[in-house]
């Protein structure tokens, strides 16, 4: 069944109202896009300027050397054995060559000079 003229007229009026509303939204969105494009352009220029400042040091600008970023390197050498240095130590005597065991002790602590306490520890080899 075909719609009547009244139904078509009503539908046409609704579509025209919707078209007017969509055109108004389109104008608002275009204005928003233009505003955001201007902001993006300004921010891109600012980023380029700041990146150019980051890449400057005392060698390629008038900045003093004291403002240069320090290199990441250790000032003190690392402790420990070096693979290219041979170790140096005294050879131990064989057990058959040992004739006596001397136990030597101190009466006071060397760093604070306080008396040592007696212990029941027995040193044995």
Indicate if the pLDDT at residue 60 is higher than 90.
no
Least confident of 10-19, 54-63, 114-123: 114-123
Residue 59 has pLDDT above 90, yes or no: no
Instruction: Provide the 3-class DSSP secondary structure of residue 42.
Output: helix
For residue range 79-91, list pLDDT tens digits in order. Answer: 766 677 777 788 8
pLDDT at position 107: 78
Q: Please provide the average confidence, as pLDDT, over all residues in the chain.
A: 84
Please count the CA atoms within 13 angstroms of the CA of 90 that sit on its side-chain side. Answer: 3
Percentage of the residues of the chain whose pLDDT score is greater than 90 = 38
| DSSP three-state, residue 108 | strand
Separation CA 121–CA 118 (nearest Å):
9
* Average pLDDT of span 88-105: 81
Check whether 22 has a pLDDT greater than 90.
yes
Q: Is the pLDDT of residue 75 over 70?
A: no
Instruction: Tell me what pLDDT residue 4 has.
Output: 92
pTM higher than 0.75, yes or no? no
CA distance 48 to 87: 57
């Amino acid at each position: 069944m075909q719609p009547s003229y009244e139904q078509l007229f009503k539908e046409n009026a609704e579509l025209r109202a919707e078209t007017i509303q969509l055109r108004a939204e389109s104008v608002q969105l275009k204005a928003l896009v233009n505003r955001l494009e201007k902001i993006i352009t300004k921010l891109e220029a600012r980023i380029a300027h700041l990146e150019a400042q980051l890449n400057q040091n005392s060698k390629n600008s008038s900045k003093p050397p004291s403002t240069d970023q320090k290199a990441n390197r250790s000032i003190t050498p690392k402790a420990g054995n070096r693979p290219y240095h041979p170790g140096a130590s005294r050879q131990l005597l064989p057990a058959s060559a040992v004739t006596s065991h001397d136990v030597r002790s101190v009466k006071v602590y060397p760093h604070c000079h306080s008396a040592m306490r007696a212990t029941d520890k027995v040193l044995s080899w």
